[in-house]
Chains A and B, each alone.
Chain A
Amino acid sequence: MRHIISILLENEPGALARVVGLFAQRSYNIETLTVAPTEDPTLSRMTITTSGPDRVIEQITKQLNKLIEVVKLVDLTEGAHLERELMLIKVKASGSQRAEIKRTADIFRGQIVDVTANVYTIQLTGATDKLEAFIEAIGPNCILETVRTGVSGIARGEKTLSL
């Protein structure tokens, strides 16, 4: 099953390497990873999506907790949560395709953020499955390039991950 693990991490050199190294060293799987500083410059917030049997996920959270730089972590998929990912996708948009692509982007609430005579660059945010649905709707023949940020997640309601 897919899990979203959200981590508060000391914003120090090497901390990211320790987290990534742990996954590689113990043969855990990383699907996406995002990291950036928080409003407190001493802390980074990291979101990792991973999948595996419950036993493995339990080990992942325990092993992460053992890293000295990991201040706190939560498995967001244990409760109600929001997840968002941002994608920039460059697609062929010429001739009759041009209007069709614009319509599809509108349906998915994407924005065209850059235009040339033959190419649209579309920005799309949403959960991973929405982004994937858009890619499918556009079709592989039109796509020139995709870049995705990976998932950022946060718990719904009043729960927070903070010091």
Chain B
Amino acid sequence: MEMLSGGEMLVRSLHEEGVEYVYGYPGGSLLHVYDAFYQQDSVKHVLVRHEQAATHMADGYARATGKPGVVMVTSGPGATNTITGIATAFTDSIPMIVITGQVMSHLIGDDAFQETDMMGISRPIVKHSFSIKHPSEIGETVKKAFHIATTGRPGPVVIDIPKDMTMPNDRHEFSYPKKVKIRSYAPPAKGHSGQIRKAVELLLGAKRPMIYSGGGVILGEASEQLRKLVRELNYPITQTLMGLGAYPATDRQSLGMLGMHGSYEANMAMHHSDVILAIGARFDDRVTNAVSKFCPDAKIVHIDIDPSSISKTVTVDIPIVGPVDSVLDDFLDMIAEIGQQPDQKAIESWWKQIEEWRKRHGGAYDKNDNGLLKPQEAIEGLWKATNGDAYICSDVGQHQMFAAQYYKFDKPNRWINSGGLGTMGFGFPAAMGVKLNFPDEMVVCVTGEGSIQMNIQEMSTCLQYGIPVKIFCLNNGYLGMVRQWQDMNYEGRHSSSYMDSLPDWTMLAESYGHVGINVETKDQLQGAMEDCFGKYKDRLVFVNVAVDPEEHVYPMQVPMGTMRDMWLSKTERT
């Protein structure tokens, strides 16, 4: 058997897992591991400029590919800098492996240089974590970590490695395990057939059905099954912020997003529905509005792989615990077996009602006649310029909601945003992680002048590794979403929501060796897009788009109300 050092075992284990890129930052406690990296070329290391960005890169990669992203950082500050990124991945159930260096075992607990209790600090925001006690554990631990991160409801796993576990001269027998068994961990493999029958019967008898699908459909790679089911039934579908793209947004049956900034028609249809089929969604507070007033007439079927998601906030009538793809396959089989058609007359009149709601609002917004771009127009321009086929990695705020509403995603895994944690600074490094792995695809970071400054330093990484993402910055000079809330709830007192002293964005981009373009008026947008994806196709382009600072995101649900209580514009309420 081969004799390897701990550092070599770690790198070899990553290779065995098919890892191509590791995103990270070296430091004292990981020097042996970085030396092992240096001596091979199958696993490549990307040196970021801040550890948080490494986690978001790994995260973006994971969201685009469904495979776990791998992060490697040193102990102490290196480890603590990953916390926001781990929490981001945890909240959105993204598979990720975070390898953190640790001080020598005998120094643990002594407040040694760059020591921090990473196991303790990360505990509430990981699916699981491991601390290596002996070099010979490394292979099996890595195998377990990948298994846990990617199965069931995915999530981040931390592996904490003291420096003395990776000593170059301390060599042990190594063979990477083919399989791993964890006696206390068995994610559900199939939904309960009795529950599925009950659910299908309820669904077929519905008069005002709604399908409400979430990020679980994307994570569970069940987009194809979802499309089949929705089309077969001819029922309307709404998708959560995390679920966009699982069902094509441009399709007639799609009512768009639901919830706080959901479409008028989706929220109205949810409120009036009699049967809701929730698929891989978790009744988040940004979806339900007041739980006690949520969809008063609806019987609810809920499919989720995580039993703790069931009846956590909204009590459901028929829970089904299982992987979304296999449960939806069973749904389709069950529909065929039962052989009953939905109530065509009821569904027809339900669609008629929905079309009326669609006509009333349907994503309308006022356009300026003073030449100043509306953010919605900017996103629509981006959608057209990219044929709706780009990977859109968003930061957090108004631009995120505008992108979710106006960039019509027709494919899964193309909309990448921090939906659960709402991490500003996520979009740019996430886009880098995607672009690095899909060099031929258009990858755009939609951001604002607030969010982009939270990880702006990564422009340097992009130059070093040749990662030509496009940064599409909707610049309104304000922390737009904060300002919107202050306008609506604090009589316009803009407390600390104005971004003063902004840099010259084009000069900033140029100083990092990239291209900057300013879009100051409506008529400059198209030309800028053409340059961005044409002339500068292979360059990082920072497009600084001046947009109307007064604009709000609508619809917006009225707090503590029902699904149908919404502001539709600054002056119109339901």
**A91 CA / B127 CA spacing, docked (Å):** 47
How many chain B residues touch A (Cβ–Cβ < 8 Å)?
20
For B125, give the chain A residue with the smallest CB separation.
A25
Chain A, 59-74, contact with B by CB distance < 8 Å: what is the 0/1 string? Answer: 1001101101111100
Tell me if A10 counts as interface (CB < 8 A to partner B): yes
List 29 A–B pairs whose Cβ atoms lie within 8 Å, in order of A's numbering: A10-B184, A14-B123, A14-B129, A14-B131, A17-B120, A17-B123, A18-B123, A21-B123, A55-B311, A58-B311, A59-B308, A59-B312, A62-B307, A62-B308, A62-B310, A63-B308, A65-B307, A66-B306, A66-B308, A68-B127, A68-B128, A68-B148, A68-B182, A68-B184, A70-B184, A71-B183, A71-B184, A72-B184, A163-B183
Residue of B nearest to A163 (CB): B183
When chains A and B are docked, how far (Å) is the Cα of A63 from the Cα of B124?
12
Residues on the B chain within 8 Å of A55, using CB: 311, 315
With a 10 A CB-CB cut-off, give which of B129, B184, B307, B312 has the most chain A CB atoms: B184
Give the interface of B toward A (CB within 8 A). Answer: 119-120, 123-124, 127-129, 131, 148, 182-185, 306-308, 310-312, 315
Chain B residues lying within 8 Å of A17, measured Cβ to Cβ, are 120, 123
Per the 8 Å Cβ criterion, residues 66-100 of A in contact with B are 66, 68-72
Q: What separation, in Å, do the CA atoms of A117 and B185 have in the docked complex?
A: 56
* Contact between chains at B124 and A25 (CB < 8 Å): yes
Residues in chain B near residue A65, CB distance under 8 A: 307-308
Residues from 8 to 63 in A contacting B, C-beta threshold 8 Å: 10, 13-14, 17-18, 21, 25, 55, 58-59, 62-63
User: In the assembled complex, how far is the CB of residue A108 from the closest CB belonging to chain B, in whole angstroms?
Assistant: 40
Measured CA separation A14–B184 after assembly (Å):
15
With a cutoff of 8 Å between Cβ atoms, the chain A residues found around residue B308 in the complex are 59, 62-63, 65-66
Q: Which residues of chain B are within 8 angstroms of A69 by Cβ–Cβ distance? A: 184
- Determine how close the nearest CB of chain A comes to the CB of B361; give it in whole angstroms: 35
Task: Name the distance in Å between A70's Cβ and chain B's nearest Cβ.
Answer: 6
Q: Given contact pairs A66-B306, A69-B184, enumerate 16 new A-B contacts (beta carbons under 8 Å).
A: A13-B131, A14-B123, A21-B123, A21-B124, A55-B311, A55-B315, A59-B308, A63-B308, A65-B308, A68-B148, A68-B185, A70-B184, A71-B183, A71-B184, A72-B184, A163-B183
A70, B307: Cα distance in complex, Å: 15
B313 to chain A, nearest CB (A): 10
CB contacts (< 8 Å) of A14 on chain B: these are 119, 123, 129, 131
User: Contacts of B185 on A, CB cut-off 8 Å?
Assistant: 68
A66 to B127 Cα, complex, angstroms: 9
**Closest Cβ–Cβ distance, residue A78 to chain B (whole Å):** 17
User: Closest chain B residue to A10 by CB distance?
Assistant: B184
What residues on B are CB-neighbors of A13 within 8 Å?
131
A145 to chain B, nearest CB (A): 31
Question: Which residues of chain A come closer than 8 Å to B182, judged between CB atoms?
Answer: 68
In the complex, what's the smallest C-beta–C-beta distance from B322 to chain A, in angstroms?
15
Report A-chain residues with C-beta under 8 Å of the C-beta of B311.
55, 58
The smallest C-beta distance from A42 to any residue of chain B, in angstroms, reads: 9
Most buried by A among B131, B183, B308, B311: B308
A66 to B308 Cα, complex, angstroms: 8
Of the candidates A10, A14, A59, A66, the one having the most CB atoms from chain B within 10 angstroms of its own CB is A66
Nearest Cβ on chain B to A26's Cβ, whole angstroms: 9
In the assembled complex, how far is the CB of residue A104 from the closest CB belonging to chain B, in whole angstroms? 45
Question: B127 contacts which chain A residues (CB < 8 A)?
Answer: 68
Q: How far is the CB of A86 from chain B (nearest CB, A)?
A: 29
Cα–Cα distance between A10 and B128 once the two chains are bound (Å): 13
**Chain A residues, CB < 8 A from B184:** 10, 68-72
A-B residue pairs, 8 tightest by C-beta: A62-B308, A71-B184, A68-B128, A25-B124, A62-B307, A21-B123, A68-B185, A63-B308
In the complex, which residue of chain B has the Cβ closest to the Cβ of A13? B131
Q: Which residue of A lies closest to B185 (CB)?
A: A68
| Alpha-carbon gap, A129 to B366, bound state (A) | 68
Q: Residues of A contacting B131 with CB < 8 Å?
A: 13-14
* Chain A residues in 8 Å Cβ range of B124: 21, 25
Q: How far is the CA of A92 from the CA of B173 in the complex (A)?
A: 64
In the assembled complex, the Cα of A34 lies from the Cα of B307 at a distance in Å of 26
Residue of A nearest to B309 (CB): A62
Residues of B within 8 A of A21 (CB): 123-124
Contacts of B123 in A (CB 8 A): 14, 17-18, 21
Q: Closest Cβ of chain B: how far from A14's Cβ, in Å?
A: 6
Q: Which residue of A lies closest to B133 (CB)?
A: A13
- Which A residues are in CB contact (< 8 Å) with B312? 59
Q: In the complex, A163 Cα to B184 Cα: how many Å?
A: 10
Distance of A72 Cα from B311 Cα, bound (Å): 21
What's the minimum C-beta distance from A11 to chain B, rounded to whole angstroms? 12
Residues of B contacting A18 with CB < 8 Å? 123
A2 to chain B, nearest CB (A): 22
Report the bound CA distance from A97 to B380 in whole Å. 87
In the complex, what residue of chain B is closest to A71 when comparing beta carbons?
B184
Interface string of A124-152 (1 = CB under 8 A from B): 00000000000000000000000000000
Task: Looking at the assembled complex, report how far the CB atom of B97 sits from the nearest CB atom of chain A, in whole angstroms.
Answer: 15
Smallest beta-carbon distance B271→chain A, Å: 23
Chain A: minimal CB distance from B7 (Å): 23
Q: Smallest Cβ distance from A53 to chain B, in angstroms?
A: 12
CA distance A63 to B306 in the complex (A): 10
